[in-house]
Amino acid sequence: VQLQASGGGLVQAGGSLTLSCVASGRTFSSYAAGWFRQAPGKEREFVAAISWGGSRTYYADSVKGRFTISRDNAKNTVFLQMNSLKPEDTAVYYCAADPYLDSNYVTRPSEYDDWGQGTQVTVSS
């Protein structure tokens, strides 16, 4: 699938943003999806993932309780609702998808075949 991420921007600490990732080209409802982020000088890190049907979600400890991943398969879209944002959340956020994602390895970027182009999130203190 082709993925297009959007919704990034500049927000003050404590604020909220919602990222969207729209898929095209294949039956997105059969793909698991995830969000990763990469800050300057750092490796890409896992943020959240969701199963193809939306019944299972996974979160990095650093965002648990603040971020929520969801999906609307009728609209081929995955969302990342980000609340209580912190300056350390500043990064480029990428959405990713894979039709055969093993739930044991959702945190591994190498497990995802398809990637979006990234959207910048900047949180000011």
Count of other CB atoms within 10 angstroms of residue 97: 26
Q: Over pLDDT 90: what percentage of the chain? A: 94
| Per-residue confidence band for 73, with pLDDT thresholds at 50, 70 and 90 | very high
Question: What secondary structure letter does DSSP report for 100?
Answer: T
The average confidence (pLDDT) of the chain is 96
What pLDDT is attached to residue 26?
A: 74
Q: Whole-angstrom Cα distance, residue 8 to residue 18? A: 8
- Angstrom CA distances, 7 to 10, 119, 122, stand at 10, 7, 12
pLDDT score, position 67: 98
- Cα–Cα distance list, 49 to 36, 95, 97, 125 (Å): 9, 9, 9, 27
